[in-house]
Amino acid sequence: MGKKQKQKIILPPELPPEILEDEIEVSDEDLQFVSENRDYAGFVSRLDTHSITKHVTRVADVKEDDLEALYEKRLRKTSVLKENEDKGLQLDPVDALPVKTLDGKLYYRTRPKPENGGDENEVGEGEKDGGGNEGIIKLTKAERRAKLKKSKKEAKKEGKKLSKPEEAEQAPQVAVLAEVKEDLTAEELFESKKCKLAELGMALLADPESNIKSLKEMLQIARDDNPSISKLGFLSLLAVFKDIIPGYRIRLPTEKELEMKVSKEVKKMRFYESTLLSAYKAYLQKLIASEKQPVFHQVVVRCICNLLDAVPHFNCCEILLEVVVRNLGSQDVVVRKLCCATIKSLFTNEGKHGGAATVEAVRLIANHVKVKNCQLHPDFVEVFMSLSFDEDLQRREVPDDKSKVKNKKNNKRKSIEEPSQLQQNERKKNKKELMLKTREEVAAEYKAASLAPDVMEKRRMQTETISAVFETYFRILKHTMMFTAVSSEANASSIGGASGAHPLLAPCLKGLGKFSHLIDLDYIGDLMNYLKRLAGGGSSNDGPSQKNSNHLTVTERLRCCIVAFRVMRNNLDALNVDLQDFFVQLYNLILEYRPGRDQGEVLAEALKIMLCDDRQHDMQKAAAFVKRLATFSLSIGSAESMAALVTLKNLLQKNIKCRNLLENDAGGGSVSGSISIYQPYAMDPNLSGALASVLWEINLLSKHYHPSISTAASSIAGMNSAHNQVYHAILSPQQAFMDLLLERESFNSKSDTQKSSSRRKRGNGTSILANTELSSNMSGSIDENEVSKKLGDHFMLLRNIKENERLRDELDRATLSLHLYDEYKKQKKTGSTKTKKCKKLLNA
């Protein structure tokens, strides 16, 4: 292999020589082969010889005989065109399409040359007569103008005559080109308007005073028929207005002020402010008009919300607030959340508008609740939770004009009592009075010019806001009571329990709980009566009501109890209200609670504020709640059970005598005095007789599947022992509920581990093999089809085993019954033989 072998070049075979059709000879053998093998050559017989031999022409509906005459005519035309090329004037290829002959040549159309080669304006007399050698006669100006007009008219007529046949030939191409041009122009128009908006916006942001007129151009673009261009215009104007709107309200000058002579700077500022305000109003009108269209709804609401959040102090703020408040209950989730966020931002950032927008927004919400009869989305009232009130502002004493006048009068009285000193210090007094007046004037001017809000004005606005908020809350409570009363009379069980009948009750109760310290003492008595009736389900009686308990959910009734206790705690010095009815409602609501339907955090809050935060409870009442909470912990989820056990432990720590319920003796151990019989179905905790019962539920809860609950139950069970008399501070029910609710760690109970170990012991060899195979497959690449097949085989195997066990049990039962039947027959035979023997003996 030392030398490389040369690569051989393989040439393709030579083509056979060309043979003319006349020289081809068909032999008899070929004809015989074709006749014998018609299946192979059948396609030849099906060929359309007429279409193959047909001449191709560009003229429709022309026979073969007329083709030669047609070709001759075309040749004559081409020859004529060639002859006229010298005489005619060739056109630009762009202006007119060429003619392509059959031989493939292109000929452009021509136009005859003008007879006069020179300027038409200068016509000689020899040209008219045909004599070119004669002298030239100059025409007058009027004749030249007339002749020029005449030549232009003739040229237009010739151009129209020439353009008509050309347009007829180019009609389909022109239509296609027009469509393409329309598309191109639409895209170019969109891009041009987009660029125009960007240029105008940048110019306005760079120098708004000089380019303030550009706002009208941007508004004109925003009014375009194309929705995408209008959206771009809305958003561009939003960005511009947010940047150039001043930090004050614009007040247009009056007629008298316009008549006054002012400087150029003042005129320029007035023109700028008036143009800005007019463009801003036009922009808002366009937004409000486009809000009803579904295409622009989200964009318009977004623009209005951003404007209200950015410039709530500016003109036309009331118009923006109306749109935003109206969309608080919108069916569009994006719009509703955007409006809620805007209103909450207004409430939390009052420094932007000084509180005026807050008062207007609360007033509008209160009017909507009144007009719609409390049938609105909960977000209408939920936004009130973002309000914040200054408590010191309500208590602060602000000196007013009357107090100043009194101080002056007192000073005058003192001056009259001491005439000798006044006579000596008259000059000093006059100086002091002048200084005092000047100081007051300076203070008034500084107050007017400063941005700090007036204390009296701020107090007035806060009072209006609080009154509107509580007016809304009381209206919702009243509407809920009226609805429950009407539905109870009509036995309207179909709408019972539906939160749709009173959607604003839950946020109303939340707000009352938060702002309970601001309620006027004159209205607290009525409020407590309302809450008592609603906690009982809406009944008019003071006690609990089972008939009407279906109209409010357990969560809503628990909130009523929570609000009542908060109002009582915040106004403890001025009230003396009996809260026993609310304890009765809580005692009954504990058993009506359902984990999937009701809110556990509300129950935990009620247990904390009503049972844990109170210092001391009656022994009968505390024992009743201890027994009820222990029973409740057996049938609910782990989080609710933990909150109940924490409350139970807190009650046992505060009431030492109730620990006797942990004893196993009948009657709860050693309790002095008479003990009433335990009544588990009693409605009143004071009449339940829980001291006569035993907390056997704690023993079951100590074996709970959840380790935290079993540990808590075990600690409660050991509370009555002598060595466990000191207790540490425990968690609140709310904290215990949230800790178990948010716990995501997996745990294995004791029963599960025992069951798994027993299953391993009972497992067959097949299952062990299957498990080993699955583990081996899991370590490497997993084939889902193979795994599913093995699992199916394993399932069928176990099913067959269980089926065989069932059949064996049936077989055993059948054999046992047959065996018993045989014994019965044998006993019957022996009995019959014995009777026969007895009869024989008697006869003998």
Name the band, by pLDDT with cuts 50, 70 and 90, for residue 806.
confident
Can you give the length of the chain in residues? 844
- On whether both 597 and 723 belong to a single domain, the answer is yes
For residues 533 and 540, is the Cβ–Cβ distance under 8 A? yes
- On whether both 660 and 737 belong to a single domain, the answer is yes
- 25, part of any domain: no
Q: Which of 48, 74, 80 is CA-nearest to residue 62?
A: 74
- Confidence (pLDDT) at 822: 85
Structural domain boundaries, residue 769: 765-775+784-815
203-217: per-residue pLDDT in tens? Answer: 999 998 888 989 999
Q: Looking only at Cα atoms, what is the longest distance across the chain?
A: 192
Please identify which residue in the block is written with the tokens 């026979």: 63
- 302, part of any domain: no
The structure tokens listed for 222 are: 């925003």
The structure tokens listed for 155 are: 């040229």
Handedness of CA 543, 546, 550, 554 (dihedral sign): positive
- 671, part of any domain: yes
The C-alpha atoms of residue 150 and residue 709 are separated, in whole angstroms, by 113
- On whether both 672 and 718 belong to a single domain, the answer is yes
H helical segments located in 718-783: 733-741, 750-762, 765-779
The C-alpha atoms of residue 493 and residue 530 are separated, in whole angstroms, by 22
- 715, part of any domain: yes
Handedness of CA 88, 90, 96, 101 (dihedral sign): positive
3-class DSSP state for residue 89?
strand
127-182: per-residue pLDDT in tens? Answer: 334 444 333 344 565 666 677 777 777 776 666 554 555 555 555 666 666 665 66
- 691, part of any domain: yes
**Cα 350–Cα 353–Cα 358 angle in degrees, nearest 5:** 60
- On whether both 725 and 788 belong to a single domain, the answer is no
- On whether both 740 and 793 belong to a single domain, the answer is no
The C-alpha atoms of residue 275 and residue 44 are separated, in whole angstroms, by 88
The C-alpha atoms of residue 51 and residue 438 are separated, in whole angstroms, by 118
- 710, part of any domain: yes
Mean of pLDDT values over 68-82: 67
- On whether both 710 and 789 belong to a single domain, the answer is no
- 598, part of any domain: yes
Sequence letter at residue 776: S
- On whether both 735 and 604 belong to a single domain, the answer is yes
- On whether both 679 and 798 belong to a single domain, the answer is no
- On whether both 770 and 728 belong to a single domain, the answer is no
If one counts every other C-beta atom within 10 angstroms of the C-beta of residue 513, the result is 19
Residues 6+ apart with CB under 8 A from 553: 497, 499, 597, 598
The C-alpha atoms of residue 471 and residue 519 are separated, in whole angstroms, by 11
The structure tokens listed for 419 are: 């005439």
Of 42-46, 321-325, 382-386, 778-782, the one with minimum mean pLDDT is 778-782
The C-alpha atoms of residue 756 and residue 751 are separated, in whole angstroms, by 9
Name the band, by pLDDT with cuts 50, 70 and 90, for residue 776.
very low
Q: Which of 715, 690, 718 is CA-nearest to residue 619?
A: 690
- On whether both 602 and 740 belong to a single domain, the answer is yes
- On whether both 599 and 725 belong to a single domain, the answer is yes
Q: Structural domain tally of the chain?
A: 2
Q: Which of 665, 595, 597, 585 is CA-nearest to residue 625?
A: 585
Q: Which of 300, 163, 330, 182 is CA-nearest to residue 230?
A: 300
3-class DSSP state for residue 110?
strand
- Confidence (pLDDT) at 838: 63
3-class DSSP state for residue 180?
helix
If one counts every other C-beta atom within 10 angstroms of the C-beta of residue 8, the result is 5
The structure tokens listed for 643 are: 């909150």
710-730: per-residue pLDDT in tens? Answer: 888 888 888 866 444 544 446
Mean of pLDDT values over 645-658: 87
- Confidence (pLDDT) at 388: 87
- 790, part of any domain: yes
Q: Which of 147, 123, 151 is CA-nearest to residue 137?
A: 123
- On whether both 668 and 797 belong to a single domain, the answer is no
Dump the DSSP string for 123-139: --HHHHHT-TTSPP-PP
